[in-house]
Structure 1
């Protein structure tokens, strides 16, 4: 999650669950599939909690102005995950924090393996806020060290969506593209991770609504374990001021499926 932003956009309230979008398209590879997280993982709070934990793997804050808590995480109508951000003003315990928000991470760690091993696809539908100061993200970060990091999708308050791969803190492949209108519509993000023939490089193919947007390469990422995080951070890389009204980040049909190429 990187780079500051400064464009104001309008945040929409959460969509009603009964207007469920069409399930996302199938991944491009269809052989020897292993489902690691099914797209029904948000069908109930109990099911969600069997696959995800609250906050970050390391605690309840990270590079922004939001304090994370379980109270800000909900499963809506047994259909989708909702992360809610509430403006509090400077908090008494830490004046650098001015929001209560929600973040969750997968209990399972994910590794791209060489020689026909695991080759995961990460896919979900999103309604993501794009206003200045809002910083939702769907990302992978190294378990044993940072980097590596792959931002499967990141919104930094500019009206754009970002796709990024960190080889080092300064060697980064990054692409920002305009986020389609209306921003209140569900958008499908799919990222395919595959081991290259050299046995150490991970090829990341980023799709939005079924169209390939960019391909990036992560050096020395084969065999490295990753955390998967669904994050609704505030301020930080999305600007120094943000909304004072309650805002939401919604996620539906999340799945992780591994293919043996």
Structure 2
């Protein structure tokens, strides 16, 4: 989702990839193996039924307020948690003042919903996390839902565990700077159906992490984040509109549904 309003190019993280080659198992190989998670079993820190006790685990809007770098302003009335399914709804709106982010202004054409986890997440040396959830995500032009991690202080780091930018594809991204980004897009099949997305994050060195992305049980790609260890993250579930997904967006209401969010802590 890009915490700041900078245009990032999809450049491979060549230096990190060379140091920690792509892996196919549950942990990096060669020199990086000593930094793999040492925890035999993880601890569940956000359970799959967390939307049944929303106020315990989640808060409304972004951690910094109602606006970001798109065409939607967040409103808690656009958030529903019926039947333990989080539904975010974006509806066309008029007369809203522009949003400001990173010194730029964005016209606001929608009221929508976003939530973030009250708990922050920090990868410790020798540790990591698993983030998993089921999604029904819109892929029409002008819709920009995402499930993402962003730094509590500064930016980057950022990991887009799942991002949809109005193209019919799903994106998996890891930011090291605004211009050094590992970005991988694949076709998002049958958006009307539920799909399970998972990201494994583990230490690859004393300062860096690797991230393995999965969709519906199949591994998609592995990326690397520099200086991510000991950096605290927010976890955000977001239905932004327009912005990077193009404009104009839909003229009718749009929904983004999420269920079974689970976060497992593998820090020692």
Q: For this structure pair, what is the TM-score category when the shorter chain's length is used for normalisation?
A: 0.7 to 0.9
Counting only pairs closer than 5 Å after superposition, residues 14-25 of structure 1 correspond to structure 2 as: none
- Is residue 187 of structure 1 aligned with residue 187 of structure 2? no
Aligned residue pair count? 230
> Unmatched 5+ residue regions in structure 1?
5-26
- Is residue 172 of structure 1 aligned with residue 181 of structure 2? yes
Distance 1:133 1:241 in 2: 6
C-alpha contact 1:67 1:101 (8 A) present in aligned 2: yes
- How far is the alpha carbon of 1:32 from its aligned partner? 2.4
Q: Indicate the structure with greater helix content.
A: 2
> Unmatched 5+ residue regions in structure 2?
9-25, 28-36, 99-105
Distance 1:55 1:162 in 2: 22
One of 65, 76, 80 as aligned partner of 1:70: 76
Pairwise CA RMSD: 1.9
One of 74, 91, 97 as aligned partner of 1:93: 97
Per the alignment, residue 230 of structure 1 pairs with 237
TM-score normalised by L of structure 1: 0.84
- Is residue 135 of structure 1 aligned with residue 144 of structure 2? yes
CA gap of 1:260–1:244, structure 2 versus 1, over 3 A, is same
Distance 1:125 1:106 in 2: 16
Distance 1:92 1:31 in 2: 51
**What's the secondary structure of 2:55's corresponding residue?**
helix
**What's the secondary structure of 2:119's corresponding residue?**
coil
Deviation readout 1:32-57 (Å, 9 max, x if unpaired): 21111001112x2xx01210100001
Per the alignment, residue 35 of structure 1 pairs with 44
Per the alignment, residue 58 of structure 1 pairs with 64
Deviation readout 1:126-176 (Å, 9 max, x if unpaired): 000000000000000000110100000000000000000000111100011
**What's the secondary structure of 2:56's corresponding residue?**
helix
- How far is the alpha carbon of 1:210 from its aligned partner? 0.3
TM-score normalised by L of structure 2: 0.82
CA gap of 1:252–1:173, structure 2 versus 1, over 3 A, is same
One of 80, 84, 87 as aligned partner of 2:85: 80
Could you list the structure 1 runs, at least 4 aligned residues long, displaced by more than 3 angstroms after superposition: 27-30, 92-95
Per the alignment, residue 113 of structure 1 pairs with 124
- Is residue 103 of structure 1 aligned with residue 108 of structure 2? no
Deviation readout 1:47-85 (Å, 9 max, x if unpaired): 012101000010100000101011000012x22000000
